[in-house]
Each structure stands twice: as structure tokens, then as C-alpha cells.
Amino acid sequence: MTHQKLSVNPFQLIQAGQLLDRPVLLYGQWQTEADDGSAAQRKALLFFAPQRWHEVKSRSELQHLRSEIAATQQLAAGHVLSSGWAGYFSYEAGRAQQQIETGSAILAEFGYYPMVIHLDLGQQEAVAHWHPDTDDEAVKQRLNDLLLAAGEVVDGNTGRPRTWSQVWQPDDYQHAFHAVQDYLHAGDCYQVNLAMPFACTDDLTSASPYGLFNAFDPAFGGYMNTPQVTLYSVSPERFMCIDRHDMETRPIKGTAPRGVTAQEDADNRNWLAQSEKNQAENLMIVDLLRNDMSLYAEPHSVRVEKLFDIETHANVHHMVSTINARLKSSHHAIDAVLAALPGGSITGAPKKRAMEIIDELEAFSRKAYCGSLGFFGDNGVADFNILIRTIQAYADGAVCWGGGGIVVDSQCHDEWQEVLHKVQKILDTWL
């Protein structure tokens, strides 16, 4: 037997995530349509207690990680994920891929996990799946550790509101915004994604991710706790999903706030759907990602399946497009992921020049922010988000960034307000 249903509520495991060894929790990425056509149910995956661990700080180490991951994915039959690699690539890994100096920055942290817990949040079921070569005693020990952690969960929300401060004031943002405009008018770029950080002095490394997940029900959320950093992400954006050889990316570009009333909310959504400016921004990034995917795609397989869809999230409406392609049989999923780092929706275009401008103007290094969190399953499935709407927590404090794409007809006040719409609910949520 290589699976076991657990006598524990999946929400207890989400609340207990920070008590496990190097956990990776990927929330809301996998939905199954019910037979009766009712709404899809939310699911999550929980990885913990890795057998191997990589903290990557150089291009050579990144290539070594690539080789190890490629060696374990077998494109096995069936879709049940029972083992694999999980972790994140930082924004700095994207800088390395673009041949931009990264110094001693962490490029990636990944572990190999021989067991995966599947959480069905609709049916409130938890099932453990593990690699068939895993020793029985090792399985027993992992399951005992998991149930012990769940048993330590205290009912109710044990978090509290935190105090966040703007690292940039409006004048700072305005200065950077106009510098971007100068570069755009000079022809250096046609879009630059400018971001600004918000800081908290509390140690949030041992907080539970449950409060944020409960508040946002994120489409591509994630949580990861390592000795270096704790990540809390309520990302709405998929970077790349690869199922054997079928690839999908879903870039976001275009935002409108949620309305106070139902009518205002509908009006905001309709405005976004009809906004030519946001459609133009979205199309710029669609073209960039079509090019990124084509590097390892079968010729003529890249297709824009959906253009300018409007999705509604807890804090904003977004304009989202969907691009599909077929991965060449001679290449591995990690090749396609690495080639597309960092996601074009959070750089601008052309990508490398936009990143150079970002380096010049932003307050400090993004680190994990705008990187990508996800997994490479041994069954040939890989799925990664874009690490936006993300808190990076360290022992001496935490940071949460907000940003948006700047084009020649952008207005500074509107872009500033968009940043606040994106992050304010995160900053207000108990953690």
C-alpha cells in the first residue's frame, strides 16, 4: 500500500504547517469538477520532512539542482502525486538566468519529499501518498509526526494584527515612477513592473498560514518554512504548469479594486474588461511569454487559449490570459521553468532591460518576491505560481511587496492606489 486516509481534518494540518520540518503547502491549485456540474472544490498539497535539501547560491549549483530534478521525474502513468521536489526559485534566480549579477543571494531552496499529503478542503479529507520505495518505518514516523503536529493546533485564530509601514512614501514612489516614464519615452522598454515594499518588525517565522488562506482562498497560494525564510503567499497567478508535456501559463496584467456594493463591484469588473489600456499591457506580456514558452516548445504548438479573461479575487479583479504549448520530448519541465524565469508579468518588457531598470530604482532586492513556488512531481507533473501577494518573514522582521506594470499612459496616482488595493487586505489580516 502506498497511500492512507488520515483521521484528521485538513484544516488542522494547514494550521499546523509551521510545526513540521521544512513544510511546503500549496493551496488551491488543484480543483476537480463534480459529476453534477457543481462548483469545483478547493484542494491543497502538503510536503514535509525532505530526504534531501538544496540551498542554491550560484549558477553552477542551479544547474546541479536541475540535473537532480530531471533525474527523478519519470513521467509515470497516472496522475496521483506521491513524491517529488518542492520549493521556490527566487527573483534572483531569474536575474541569474538573464546573466545579471546576483552576488551571494539565494537563488532557490528545494527539498526532495518522499510523501505528499493531499488535502480535499471541500470533502474535508486528508490522504497521504508516498513513493513505493519508502521504508515502512519511515512512513510510520512521518505520519506520527504529522498527527502530533495536528494535535498541537489550538482552536480559533491565535494570530493578531501586525503593524506595517511603507518603506516608500508617495514622493519616493513618484520619483521612481517618473524615472520609469523617462526610460519608456527613451525607448528602453515598453513596460516596467515597479514594486515597493511594506515592512513589519515582528518575527512572523512561526505564525500559521491559516489566517491568510482563510481570508483569501487564493487560487495559487503557498506557504514554505525553511531555516532561511518563511513565505506566506496568497498569489492569484500561475507561472507555469506542465503535465507531462502539456504546458500552461496564465499571466496577469490589469487590475481593478473590489467594490463596496454589488453594483460598484460589477461596474469595476466591467470597466476592467473594457479597458483598452489594460488590454494593451496584458498583450505585451502575452507576447513575451509566448516567446519564453517557444524556447522549449514543439514548433507551432504555442497557442493563446484565452485572452483578457476577468477573474475576481478577495481584494481585486484581474485581467488574465492563458497560453498553452507542448514541451519538446527532448527536454524536461525544469528546462522550461528555468528558461521563463522570472515571470514576464512581474518584470515588464523587454525582460532584461526592464530588470536592469528595476535594479536601479527599487528600494532593495526582491529576494523571493516575484520568484516562483511549486513542485516537480515524480509523476511528471510540475506546477508553479508567481510569488506575488507574498510575505517574506525573517527573525528580524518581514516584508510584503506590491507592484504593477507602468506604461507610457500610466498615471502615478492610479498606480499608487493599485499597489495599495493589492496589498492592504494582506497587511490587515491577522497573522
Residues marked as catalytic: 237, 253
d(CA 154, CA 156): 6
C-alpha grid cell, residue 330: 527532448
Residues in the chain: 431
d(CA 67, CA 110): 13
C-alpha grid cell, residue 112: 526532495
Q: Is 370 in contact with 388 (CB distance < 8 Å)?
A: yes
* Residue 368: closest CA among 405, 334, 396, 398: 398
d(CA 406, CA 191): 6
Query: Beta-strand (E) ranges in 66-123?
Result: 84-89, 108-113, 115-120
Element spanning 303, H or E: strand 303-312
Q: Using alpha carbons only, how large is the chain's radius of gyration in Å?
A: 21
d(CA 378, CA 427): 36
DSSP sequence for 368-410: TTTSEEEEEETTSEEEEE---SEEEEETTEEEEEEEEEE-TT-
- CB contact burial 329-338 (16+ within 10 A = b; e otherwise): eeebbbbbbb
Give residue for cell 515571470.
Answer: 343
d(CA 247, CA 279): 23
* Residue 43: closest CA among 54, 58, 56, 27: 27
Neighbours of 282 (CB within 10 A): 24
Tell me the torsion sign for CA atoms 407, 408, 409, 414: positive
Q: Is 332 in contact with 74 (CB distance < 8 Å)?
A: no
